Chains A and B, each alone.
Chain A
Amino acid sequence: MQSPRISRRTFLKMAGLGTFSLLFSGSIRKVLGVPKPKRYRLGEIGGKDLQLTREVRGVCGYCSVGCGIIFYRAGDKVIHLEGDPDNPLNEGKLCSKGEASLELFGQHNPRRLRTPLIRVNPKPPAEELKKVKTQDELRAILDKYKPIWRPATWDEAFRYIAERMREILDEVGWDPRKEDGYYHLGKKFPLWIEAGAKLTNEEAYIIKKIATMLGSYNIDHDARRCHSTTVAGLAGTVGFGAQTQSFIDTQFISTYLIFGGNPAENHPVSMRHTLKGKERGTLKLVVVDPRYNRTASQADVFAFFRPGSDLAFLLYILHYAFWERNPPVDQLDTFKEFVTRFNVDLEEIKEFKEITKDYTAEEVSRITGIPVDKLRKIAELYVENSGVTTNFKRFGSIQWAMGQTQHHVGTQITRLSTLVQLTLGNMGFPGGGLNPYRGHSNVQGTTDMCILSHILPGYIKQPSNPLQIRVYQDWKNQGFPDAWHWEIPDWAGSSFGPNERGKVNSTKVLWSWWFQNWRRFELTWGIFVGTDPESDPKNGTVISDFPFGKGYTENTWWQGVLFDDVLKAAIIMAENIAVSDGDAITTYIALASLKLLVVVDLWEAETATFADVLLPGAFQYEKYGSITNSNRWVQWQDRVVPPAGDAKPDLWIMLKLWDYFKSYGIVRLPSQIYGKREEKVSIKNPNTGEMVELYERKIEPFMDYATGRFADPDYAYADPELIYKEIDLAVDLYNGMYDWVDGKILAKRRKPLLRTESDIDGILDREFLMYKDWAWTWPKNVRILYDLWTLSKTLGRTFQFTFTPGEYSVGDTLNGKTVSITGETGEIRDAKSGKWRPAFIPGHNFVVGKMYKRLWSGMTDLLTGAVTAKDLLWYGKVVGKFVIFSGESHTVTTYEDLGIKCPLCESFYYDEDVINVGKANYKKPYFKGTKDYKGKKIKYVGFYDWKKVRDKFSEEFRSLAKSLGIREAVKSMKEKYGEWYAYPNPSNSGEILAWDMRYPIHYEPVESPDFELATKYPAMAWRRAENYRFLEPPKGFEHLKDTVTMIPEDMSPPEGAEVVVVTTNRMTEHFHTGQLTRNVPLLAELVPEPFAEIPKPLADKLGIKPGDIVEVGNKRNVIYVRAMVTHRVPKLSVNGKEVYVINLPWHWGWAGAHSTYAVVNTITDVYMDVVTTMQETKAFLAYVRKAPIEKYDYRAKEENLPGIRP
Chain B
Amino acid sequence: MGEMAIAFNVDNCIFCRACQVACHVWNNTRPQVTEFSPTLTNPPDLLPNVWMVMEAKEVVEGDEFHWLFLKRQCMHCSEAPCAKACPVNAIEIHPEGAVVIREDKCTGCRFCIEACPYDVPKYDESSEKVYKCTFCIDRIQNGLEPACVAACPTDALVFGDYDELVNRYRSQGFEVYGDSVNDYVGRTHYIYVTRKFKGKLTDPKYFGERLKKDPRKASVQVGTNVVEPVGWGLIGLTLLAAAGHFIYWRAKRIEEKSESEGEKGGE
Contacts and interface: CB of A to CB of B under 8 A. Distances in A.
B95 interface: yes
B15 A1198 contact: no
Interface string B93-135: 1110000101100000000000000000000101100010010
Contacts of A18: 140-144
Given A96-B21, A100-B21, A292 B27 contact: no
A1125 B151 CA distance: 30
Interface stretch (B29-37, B241-249, B258-266): B29-37
B88 interface: no
A93 B93 contact: no
A11 B34 contact: no
B interface: dominant SS? loop
Given A1089-B35, A1124-B38, A96 B18 contact: yes
A96 B150 contact: no
Contact of B95 (A29, A102, A1106): A29
Interface string A240-284: 000000000000000000000000110011011001000100000
A37 B98 CA distance: 10
Given A22-B141, A99-B151, A1206 B127 contact: yes
B67 A292 contact: yes
A1205 B27 contact: yes
Contacts of B100: 37-38
A1206 B67 contact: no
B14 A297 contact: yes
A28 interface: yes
Contact of B29 (A279, A1128, A1205): A1205
A interface: dominant SS? loop
A289 to B, nearest CB: 13
Interface stretch (A545-553, A1077-1085, A1166-1174, A1178-1186): A1077-1085
B215 interface: no
Interface in A1-38: 11, 14-22, 25-35, 37-38
A81 interface: yes
A45 B24 CA distance: 11
A659 to B, nearest CB: 40
A1205 B30 contact: yes
B154 A272 contact: yes
Contacts of B95: 25-29, 31, 37
A942 B185 CA distance: 73
Interface in B1-35: 1-3, 12, 14-18, 20-22, 24-35
A99 B102 contact: no
A1091 interface: yes
B14 A83 contact: no
A94 B25 CA distance: 13
A37 B42 contact: no
B67 A1128 contact: yes
B155 interface: yes
A1132 B93 CA distance: 54
A502 interface: no
Given A48-B28, A80-B25, A1088-B33, A14 B144 contact: yes
Contacts of A1198: 33
B152 to A, nearest CB: 7
Nearest to A43: B138
A275 B150 contact: no
A15 B144 CA distance: 6
Interface residues of A, number: 89
Contact of B137 (A30, A31, A40): A40
A1099 to B, nearest CB: 11
A328 B113 CA distance: 67
B72 to A, nearest CB: 14
Contacts of B49: 1203, 1205-1206
B178 interface: no
B31 A1081 contact: yes
B182 interface: no
A92 to B, nearest CB: 6
A25 B2 contact: yes
A48 B144 CA distance: 15
B160 interface: no
A30 B34 contact: no
Contact of A1083 (B21, B37, B89): B21
A16 B144 CA distance: 9
A47 interface: yes
Nearest to B47: A1206
Contacts of A1089: 35-36
Nearest to A1105: B38
A824 B15 CA distance: 36
Contacts of B16: 95-96, 264-265, 268, 294, 1068
Contacts of A31: 93-95, 226-227
Given A42-B139, A264-B16, A1128-B67, A28 B2 contact: yes
Contacts of B126: 1206
Interface string A1162-1206: 000000000000000000000000000000000010100111111
A48 to B, nearest CB: 7
Nearest to B99: A37
Nearest to A80: B25
Contacts of B24: 1082, 1085, 1203
B65 A292 contact: yes
Contact of B153 (A11, A34, A94, A1085): A94
A16 B48 contact: no
Contact of A99 (B21, B29, B37, B131): B21
B179 interface: no
A501 B201 CA distance: 74
Given A40-B137, A1069-B17, A1088-B36, A45 B27 contact: yes
Contacts of B138: 40-46
Nearest to A1068: B16
B43 interface: yes
B202 interface: no
Contact of A1203 (B18, B31, B144): B31
A81 B28 CA distance: 12
B142 A294 contact: no
B152 A1086 contact: no
Interface in A40-69: 40-48
A662 B54 CA distance: 55
Contacts of A1106: 38
A11 B154 CA distance: 20
B69 A297 contact: yes
Interface string A92-135: 11111011101000000000000000000000000000000000
A343 interface: no
A94 B34 CA distance: 23
A672 interface: no
A295 B58 CA distance: 15
A606 B212 CA distance: 47
A1107 interface: yes
Contact of B225 (A29, A34, A272): A34
A1204 B226 contact: no
A1091 B42 CA distance: 14
B180 interface: no
B228 interface: yes
Contacts of B2: 25, 28
A298 B144 contact: no
Closest 5 CB pairs of A and B: A18-B143, A1106-B38, A1203-B30, A46-B28, A40-B138
18 contacts: A21-B1, A25-B95, A27-B95, A30-B228, A31-B93, A34-B227, A43-B26, A45-B134, A46-B28, A83-B150, A99-B22, A264-B15, A297-B15, A1081-B31, A1084-B33, A1086-B20, A1086-B40, A1206-B131
Given A19-B141, A1085-B34, 7 more contacts: A28-B2, A30-B227, A42-B142, A95-B16, A1068-B15, A1086-B40, A1203-B29
Interface of B: 1-3, 12, 14-18, 20-22, 24-38, 40, 42-43, 48-50, 58, 60, 65-67, 69, 89, 92-95, 100, 102-103, 124, 126-127, 131, 134, 137-144, 150-155, 224-228
